[in-house]
Amino acid sequence: MAATAETVAAGEARRPDRFVVATAIVAGLLLAALIALETAPFLVGLFFVGGALGVGLYHGAFGFTGGWRRFVVHGRGAALRAQLALLALAAVLMVPVLATSGAGLTGAVAPVGLSLVVGAFLFGFGMQLGGGCGSGTLFTIGAGNVRMVLTLVFFIAGSVLGTIHLPWWLEQPGVDPVNLAAGLGPGGAIALTLALCAGLAWWVTRIERRRHGDVERRLLAGPRGGLAGTLFKGPWPLAWAVVVLAVGNLAVLLLAGHPWGITLAFAIWGAKALQAVGVDMAQFEFWTWDYPAMALADSVLVNVTSVTNFGLLAGAMLAAGLAGRFNRASLGRIPPRSLLAAAIGGLVMGYGARLAFGCNIGAMFSGIASASLHGWIWFAAAWVGSLIAIRLRPRFALAND
Amino acid sequence: MPETRRYSPLRLVVVLLVIAGFIIADHVGSPTFRRNMGEGGFETTLTQRESQAAACAPCGAPCPSERKDD
């Protein structure tokens, strides 16, 4: 998530925007009622979990994109440490559940190969230009950020293109999914995950201390105001967001049967749009596979990822309304070069997300929380892509704040 | 009302209605809606979910059923 996302929740508190709050609640309840009427109770639950995730992302200003950039550019590591704490907590919560669930639940475990490395690299590159990652794009749109709508449109286009090319990429060198819990046991996988998170947090802290002489303590900071006011109007302490996102991912796992994902829905939405204008998507191998073929043919209201995304959008809109900041990130003129960056970033992110089996949420967060090796490789490859794109941001009139 | 509202409430409502229109149009053309209307004999997302013991994670990787063909 980018500066656009983070600036949304920064600054002084404002009065709630009652119109946005009411609109978000009414729209959310109507959609929840439609889902309840037409589908299954677990999907209603997922919609509300998505809403909670949207509130957590917005009020916590939980930035993957911005957090990475802040560390690279300014040497400040609070956001990065919060992400590592999130990965560690989610692994502690989810690995035992996956290990004891039998065949009922499936982790985010995906192949490791050239497709993953190239896709994650592209995603990391694209998220710095696009101004947000998978979750960042969605929650900033929910908060009324107009520029991010352009990012999403191109994200969708890139996702569809990625699905068309994915079978070719899967023929390139690679190995089957590596589940660390299968090799090391659940306890060993959790211990390894905690050790890696702790090691990275130590490295981040060491660099921050060397550069600034001190270390930000935002992760452990308490609320700035009263408890109720902070809960509803934000901004939240980072630790609150960490807990909500980790527990939210566990809730998605328990309700849906698999962890939280975001970006496959974008490919489905794009493929549905193409199909609506007469394109036969069945000519592309990806759309003949069981899950994508059914997701394309059936309603978005029974698609787990779409329903969670709808909830996330509504939750972010509600949170932005409560904070009195809806549409705040869209004030002022948006430079054309920034719009070009949004388009390029969105397209590259979409393509990369399909090659890498998801975004920072579906592949990195859920992958690592499922003890899948591909989550860590995604992290490393996306980091390299981000490093390059951060240097390019000023050329697109994007501040490296 | 916030003192610096810069968006158009009407435009916001119209955007949400357009999105709702797309969702409903997609739904009424779906197998799930047809099954809800009493038709049968075809698979839906929910029946596919029940028939597969292990849910296939929606990460875009090939499901086990496709990987057998490799």
- Per-residue pLDDT tens digits for B23-63: 999 999 999 999 999 998 899 999 888 776 444 656 767 76
The pLDDT value given to residue A329: 83
DSSP H/E element including A113: strand A112-113
| B61 with A290: Cβ contact below 8 A | no
| Facing residue for B7 by CB, picked from A292, A300, A327 | A327
CB within 8 Å of A114: residues ≥ 6 apart: A169, A172, A173, A174
| CA distance readout (Å), A295 to A62, A278, A342, A393, B26 | 30, 18, 27, 36, 12
Average the pLDDT over each of A42-51, A316-325, B2-11 and give the range with the smallest value. Answer: B2-11
Is A145 within 8 Å of A328 (Cβ atoms)? no
**Selected residue with higher pLDDT from B44 and A290:** B44
The CB density around residue A394, as the number of other CB atoms within 10 Å, is: 11
Q: What is the pLDDT of residues A302-352, one digit of tens each?
A: 999 999 999 999 999 999 999 999 988 887 788 899 999 999 999 999 999
The pLDDT value given to residue B69: 41
* A383 to chain B, closest Cα gap in Å: 20
Query: A40 to chain B: which residues are within 8 Å by CB?
Result: 46
A40 touches chain B (CB under 8 A): yes
Q: What is the pLDDT of residues A200-221, one digit of tens each?
A: 999 999 999 999 999 998 877 8
B60 touches chain A (CB under 8 A): yes
| B33 with A299: Cβ contact below 8 A | yes
Residue (of A338, A277, A289) closest to A129 by Cα position: A338
Q: Is residue B66 over pLDDT 60?
A: no
Q: Is residue A4 over pLDDT 60?
A: no
Using pLDDT thresholds of 50, 70 and 90, give the confidence band for residue A401: confident
Residue from B59, B68, B69 whose CB has the most chain A CBs within 10 Å, to mutate: B59
Q: What is the mean pLDDT of residues A363-374?
A: 97
B47 touches chain A (CB under 8 A): no
Q: Alpha-carbon dihedral of residues A5, A267, A161, A68, nearest 10 degrees?
A: 30
Q: Is residue A295 over pLDDT 60?
A: yes
Query: A368 to chain B: which residues are within 8 Å by CB?
Result: none
Q: Is residue A5 over pLDDT 60?
A: no
B33 touches chain A (CB under 8 A): yes
Beta bridge partners of A372: A179
d(CA A300, CA A265): 8
The pLDDT value given to residue B58: 65
**Selected residue with higher pLDDT from A120 and A104:** A120
The pLDDT value given to residue B65: 45
The pLDDT value given to residue B17: 97
| CA distance readout (Å), A396 to A140, A217, A347, A352, A390 | 20, 32, 16, 21, 11
* A145 to chain B, closest Cα gap in Å: 11
Q: What is the mean pLDDT of residues A77-95?
A: 97
Q: What is the pLDDT of residues A336-346, one digit of tens each?
A: 999 999 999 99
The pLDDT value given to residue A1: 42
Using pLDDT thresholds of 50, 70 and 90, give the confidence band for residue A10: very low
pTM: 0.93
Residue (of A53, A46, A20, A5) closest to A304 by Cα position: A46
The pLDDT value given to residue A304: 95
| B55 with A105: Cβ contact below 8 A | yes
CB within 8 Å of A179: residues ≥ 6 apart: A107, A109, A370, A371, A372, A373
d(CA A342, CA B4): 26
Cis, peptide link before residue A235, omega less than 30° from 0: yes
Query: B65 to chain A: which residues are within 8 Å by CB?
Result: 290
A107 touches chain B (CB under 8 A): yes
Q: Which of residues 264-283 of A touch B (CB under 8 A)?
A: 264, 267, 272
